[in-house]
């Protein structure tokens, strides 16, 4: 087994499937919020396969201790979609070994629609669990009234400047969507990510394709892949979050602040700059860069299954992808780590290549229902900064938001691709350190409007003008 290797922390961190089978008609799911950073559905179990016997009970039912003394036996309930199941189990085990009086009943859901539906139903009946997985911005704001403000706990644990340890984007996302006079904190960052185009380097080499550095090269790569029976750039168009990420990539080519300027009302969605970004978005589909039938395809697991099987050339993924390497059983493509990544080349004249976009992948919050907030806070601190966080790092699930917790490669399986996988992970960490464009939307209504507009654009029900006007109409309604 290899020794522990130096790690660059951004914060201081076979069967060939017919493509047509994947492009069968399916309902387009519009997510409440954008999602990235989840594990492959080929390796992520559904909730009913991963939940403990009592995990569906609320905190009111399963928080058995009345007090919060260290000596009391405490049971906490926790729902999330991230990290992936195998990593979450290690994370929780490490915490419970350090805190034997605290037990966590954990339920893992597929994010969309299972997790979103479970949260909605539980909130409607005031029956949320003690700890829930969150994303900054729209998801946190959707459940803000049910969440505990842990600011005082954070100050007590880390001091008044506790939030300054995070990168600038993650810092801002801590309170993303809060009203101007609201300084509460309801989401503790666990992971921070970078989003880009992942590609199968071995497949590119086999077909004589070079990593695209121009849009013309990207279009040519897609043509070669299609000609040889492979999916080009696989796009999960049934997932609203994919549309959000792609639009932000296109907007960042025009101006790195363009998307945020629009979502905060500093610039109209119907202005020429955003129309240019939306036109370039549409061009990717018109020019065949994305696979046919993309609107009926999901990233997890339609795309990831195809990508892992070596039948898709590219996917919109990100810095969580190396988590595939740390699984116990992997394909040869993963064992050799035949992957690499690039940022979307400039699509039209007068724009630049896409900037690294990202920020907080996910965090955890404590619900007001929780009867053992002290124990729940201990769990969050572990998952974010201590023994639980170390397990996340060792699985390369994604980059930890808290700095200086490094993956220990001696805990990983020593395969041919170990160095390449860790090199990719470290490189994305450096990209995060270099600065990110915010990928999160603060208002749930704007998030939904963006998803609807882009799906309508790709599906042909919206023109560029109609798509941008649709978002602007929702933006206008917020101030009425």
pLDDT in tens, 126-174: 999 999 999 999 999 999 999 999 999 999 999 999 999 999 899 999 9
Return the SS3 of 276: helix
pLDDT, tens digit (0-9, with 9 covering 90-100), for 286-302? 999 999 999 999 999 89
Nearest to 83 by CA among 55, 54, 106: 106
What CA–CA distance (Å, rounded) separates 407 from 389? 10
Per-residue CA distances from 106 to 15, 245, 257 (Å): 34, 29, 39
All structural domains of the chain, each given as residue ranges with its CATH number in brackets, are 19-33+193-357+438-478 (3.40.190.10), 47-192+363-421 (3.40.190.10)
Residue 451 has pLDDT above 80, yes or no: yes
Residue 276 has pLDDT above 60, yes or no: yes
Residue 22 has pLDDT above 50, yes or no: no
Residue 9 has pLDDT above 90, yes or no: no
Q: What are phi and psi of 29, to 5 degrees?
A: -95, 125
Report the pLDDT value the prediction gives residue 141, as an integer from 0 to 100: 97
- Cis peptide leading into residue 112 (ω within 30°): no
Residue 46 has pLDDT above 70, yes or no: no
Report the pLDDT value the prediction gives residue 66, as an integer from 0 to 100: 39
**Residues 430, 435, 436, 438, CA torsion sign:** positive
What CA–CA distance (Å, rounded) separates 437 from 301? 27
Nearest to 285 by CA among 241, 330, 233: 233
Tally the residues of the chain.
480
CB 169 within 8 A of CB 358: yes
Structure letter (DSSP) for residue 315: E
Rounded percentage of the chain residues whose pLDDT exceeds 70: 85
What CA–CA distance (Å, rounded) separates 217 from 417? 27
Distance of CA 86 to the CA centre of its chain: 17
436: left (phi over 0), alpha (psi -120 to 50) or beta: beta
Question: How large is the average pLDDT for residues 250-257?
Answer: 98
Structure letter (DSSP) for residue 355: P
- Cis peptide leading into residue 83 (ω within 30°): yes
CB 458 within 8 A of CB 285: yes
CB 312 within 8 A of CB 17: no
Report the pLDDT value the prediction gives residue 70, as an integer from 0 to 100: 56
Residue 450 has pLDDT above 50, yes or no: yes
Question: How large is the average pLDDT for residues 112-119?
Answer: 93
The tokens of 342 are what? Answer: 């690039």
Question: How large is the average pLDDT for residues 370-390?
Answer: 99
pLDDT, tens digit (0-9, with 9 covering 90-100), for 329-340? 999 999 999 999
What CA–CA distance (Å, rounded) separates 157 from 171? 17
Residue 36 has pLDDT above 80, yes or no: no
The tokens of 158 are what? Answer: 């880390």
What CA–CA distance (Å, rounded) separates 447 from 140? 13
Report the pLDDT value the prediction gives residue 168, as an integer from 0 to 100: 86
Structure letter (DSSP) for residue 356: P
Q: Which residue has the higher pLDDT, 262 or 17?
A: 262
β-pair type (131-134, 188-200): unpaired
> Predicted confidence band at 190 (pLDDT cuts at 50, 70, 90)?
very high
Please identify which residue in the block is written with the tokens 């998803």.
451
Residue 52 has pLDDT above 50, yes or no: no
> Predicted confidence band at 479 (pLDDT cuts at 50, 70, 90)?
confident
């Amino acid at each position: 087994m290899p020794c522990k290797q130096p790690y660059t922390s951004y914060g201081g961190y076979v069967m060939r499937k017919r493509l047509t089978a994947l492009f069968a008609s399916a309902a387009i799911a519009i997510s409440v919020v954008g999602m990235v950073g989840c594990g492959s559905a080929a390796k992520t179990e559904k909730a009913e396969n991963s939940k403990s016997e009592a995990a569906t009970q609320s905190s009111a039912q399963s928080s058995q201790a009345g007090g919060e003394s260290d000596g009391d036996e405490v049971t906490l309930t926790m729902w999330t979609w991230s990290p992936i199941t195998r990593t979450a189990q290690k994370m929780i085990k490490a915490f419970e070994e350090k805190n034997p009086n605290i037990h966590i009943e954990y339920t893992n859901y597929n994010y969309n629609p299972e997790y979103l539906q479970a949260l909605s139903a539980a909130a409607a009946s005031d029956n949320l669990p003690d700890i829930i997985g969150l994303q900054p911005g729209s998801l946190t704001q959707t459940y803000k009234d049910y969440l505990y403000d842990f600011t005082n706990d954070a100050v007590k644990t880390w001091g008044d400047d506790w939030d300054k340890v995070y990168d600038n984007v993650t810092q801002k996302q801590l309170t993303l969507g809060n009203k101007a006079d609201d300084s509460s904190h309801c989401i503790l960052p666990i992971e921070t990510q970078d989003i880009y185009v992942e590609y199968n380097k071995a497949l590119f080499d086999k077909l004589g394709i070079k990593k695209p550095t121009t849009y013309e090269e990207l279009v040519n790569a897609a043509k070669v892949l299609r000609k040889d029976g492979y999916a080009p750039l696989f796009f999960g168009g049934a997932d609203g979050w994919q549309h959000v990420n792609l639009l932000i990539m296109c907007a960042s080519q025009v101006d790195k602040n363009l998307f945020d300027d629009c979502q905060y009302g500093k610039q109209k969605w119907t202005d020429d700059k955003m129309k240019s970004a939306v036109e370039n978005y549409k061009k990717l589909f018109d020019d065949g860069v994305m696979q046919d039938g993309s609107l009926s395809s999901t990233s997890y697991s339609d795309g990831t299954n195809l990508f892992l099987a070596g039948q898709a050339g590219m996917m919109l993924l990100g810095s969580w992808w190396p988590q595939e390497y740390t699984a116990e059983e992997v394909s040869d493509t993963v064992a050799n780590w035949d992957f690499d990544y690039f940022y979307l080349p400039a699509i039209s004249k007068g724009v630049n290549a896409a900037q690294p976009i990202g920020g907080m992948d996910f965090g955890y919050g404590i619900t007001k229902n929780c009867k053992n907030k002290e124990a729940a806070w201990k769990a969050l601190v572990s998952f974010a900064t201590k023994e639980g966080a170390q397990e996340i790092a060792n699985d390369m699930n994604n980059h930890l938001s808290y700095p200086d917790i490094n993956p220990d490669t001696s805990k990983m399986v020593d395969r041919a691709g170990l160095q390449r996988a860790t090199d990719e992970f470290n490189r994305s960490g450096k990209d995060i350190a270099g600065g990110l464009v915010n990928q999160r939307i603060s208002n749930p209504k704007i998030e939904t409007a963006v998803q609807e507009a882009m799906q309508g654009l790709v599906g042909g029900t919206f023109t560029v003008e109609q798509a941008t006007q649709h978002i602007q109409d929702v933006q206008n309604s917020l101030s009425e």
